[in-house]
Amino acid sequence: MNLTLPPLSLYIHIPWCVQKCPYCDFNSHAQKGVIPEKEYIQHLLADLSQDLTAYKTAIGERKIHSIFIGGGTPSLFSAEGIQYLLAEIQKRIAFEDQIEITLEANPGTAEAERFLGYVQGGVNRISMGIQSFEPEKLLKLGRIHNREEAIQAVEFAKNAASLGLRSFNLDLMHGLPNQSVSQALSDLKQAIALNPPHLSWYQLTIEPNTMFYYRQPTLPDDDELWDIFEQGHQLLTSAGYEQYETSAYAKKGYQCQHNLNYWRFGDYLAIGCGAHGKITYPTGEIYRFSKTKHPKGYMRGEYRYSQELIALEDRPFEFFMNRFRLLEATPKTDFEQLTGLTLKSIEPIIAQAIEKNYLTETTQYWQITQHGKLFLNELLEGFLV
């Protein structure tokens, strides 16, 4: 069985942050003392070199399509450190001409002042974790910036456009503790007024092993959440934003290429503490892998944590779990070329989904319906073996 090789991205995880937010279930560690920036960067490069050797036949002639530096708070690293890291990565594997390189940043003043340096180092997209503009909500969420700093950070990002910053994203949450519908919409209006090319607007969910899980705050009820989403979606659409993924809105031409590659069942190398990757071999094998979570183990040079072959029977679920996060139609050829399976193998499940009005189909595409989006879990369960 031969597979078509999808675009190849790279995820880089930097695990440190100033303090752990009470809703955060990412692999992040509150900064204690000086962050070992130079040492960690050397480990990232060694980790990448190891993967490039291990997956050489899978990577083939592919170049890096996009890079996403996430965390933690990557903007705690110096501009010089990020510049060096990107330059050294490019020595090891070629970049596509129009590569998108995103760095997650805190909108605090110190990090925002580094934006120009990051852009000079090769970053061409910045993603800022604003979450809210209300002082009380920022405090409740454990954020260390204020409203003025968030607005100032957007100005820094706009100024960096002349040096090569192509786009920036604002992360904004709704459904916050004790948040009214009008407060949520006020936050959204403030974000829209700043005119970011991309807006990630997502609902706060309580995840296990977070402070909010053990001390649950009072959140808006389902009716309020629906009102927030419905009215917020209308505000975004009226302002020229198009929803292209469950929680992502973008102006025309500003979709996040890195995230699109995830949801389209693309491949991605992954380096850094707890990073997760996926790689396809032209001969038909698809693997998911992860890296050691804790900085102590990782910085002993113990990079690889796990590797797992995606079995043929699991591929329909894996493929659709990703594709149905996107609102775009799913080409049937993508399913065949990226999973190595025939359309016939999923015919009964697709027929059931169409019958339940979860999907519509043409000879070339499947399209998830509004009803299907509301019952996404039930739709996906059909593909579980």
pLDDT > 90? residue 141: no
191-206 pLDDT per residue, tens:
999 999 999 999 998 8
Q: What is the pLDDT averaged over residues 85-102?
A: 98
Element housing 334 (H / E): helix 332-339
CB 6 within 8 A of CB 267: yes
pLDDT > 70? residue 112: yes
8-261: what CATH class? alpha beta
What type of residue sits at position 75?
A: S
169-183 pLDDT per residue, tens:
999 999 999 999 999
270-306 pLDDT per residue, tens:
999 999 999 999 999 999 999 999 999 999 999 999 9
Higher pLDDT pick, 48 / 215: 48
For residues 332 and 336, what is the distance between their CA atoms, to the nearest angstrom?
Answer: 7
CB 366 within 8 A of CB 359: yes
In this prediction, residue 1 carries a pLDDT of: 73
For residues 124 and 120, what is the distance between their CA atoms, to the nearest angstrom?
Answer: 9
Nearest alpha-carbon partner for 59 in 279, 239, 261, 245: 279
Instruction: Find the length of the chain.
Output: 385
307-321 pLDDT per residue, tens:
999 999 999 999 999
Around 88, how many Cα atoms within 13 Å sit in the side-chain half-sphere? 16
For residues 317 and 382, what is the distance between their CA atoms, to the nearest angstrom?
Answer: 8
In this prediction, residue 109 carries a pLDDT of: 63
Q: What is the mean pLDDT of the chain?
A: 94
Please report which confidence band the pLDDT of residue 162 belongs to, taking 50, 70 and 90 as the band edges. Answer: confident
50-85 pLDDT per residue, tens:
999 999 999 999 999 999 999 989 999 999 999 999
Which residues in 3-18 are b (16+ Cβ under 10 Å) and which e? bebbbbbbbbbbbbbb
Please report which confidence band the pLDDT of residue 110 belongs to, taking 50, 70 and 90 as the band edges. Answer: low
Please report which confidence band the pLDDT of residue 140 belongs to, taking 50, 70 and 90 as the band edges. Answer: confident
Q: What is the pLDDT averaged over residues 204-211?
A: 87
In this prediction, residue 179 carries a pLDDT of: 94
- Percent of the chain predicted with pLDDT > 90: 82
Read off the pTM: 0.95
Q: Where are the beta strands (DSSP E) in 108-147?
A: 125-131
What residue spans define the domains of the chain? 8-261, 328-384
Q: Which residues pair with 102 in a beta bridge?
A: 68, 125
In this prediction, residue 235 carries a pLDDT of: 98
Please report which confidence band the pLDDT of residue 374 belongs to, taking 50, 70 and 90 as the band edges. Answer: confident
